[in-house]
Amino acid sequence: MKRSNDYAKASIQKSLNAKVYLWFTHDELNRIQKAEYPAFSNEKNSQQADGGDRPHYWFSPIKYVSQDSNRAFWKIYSAYLTLPSVDDVERLFDISKTASVLPIDYWLSTPYYSSTDKARIVSSDYQVYHRKVDTVLGIRPVMWVRAKY
92-148 pLDDT tens trace: 888 888 888 888 899 999 999 888 899 999 998 999 999 999 999 999 888 766 666
Quote the pLDDT of residue 1.
47
Each residue of 111-123: pLDDT tens digit?
998 888 999 999 9
Structural domain boundaries, residue 67? 7-145
In a domain, 1, yes or no: no
Is residue 4 pLDDT above 80, yes or no?
Answer: no
Torsion angle in degrees (nearest 10) through CA of 101, 4, 32, 67: 50
Give the residue from 104, 63, 110 showing the smallest Cα distance to 83. Answer: 110
User: Which are the contacts of 52, defined by CB distance < 8 A and separation ≥ 6?
Assistant: 40, 41, 46, 71, 72, 73, 74
**Other Cβ atoms closer than 10 A to 115:** 15
Residue 58 is assigned to a structural domain of this protein? yes
- The answer to whether residue 30 sits within a structural domain is yes
How many structural domains does the chain have? 1
Per-residue pLDDT tens over the stretch 21-78: 898 898 988 888 888 888 899 888 888 899 999 999 887 888 888 888 999 999 999 9
82 part of a folded domain: yes
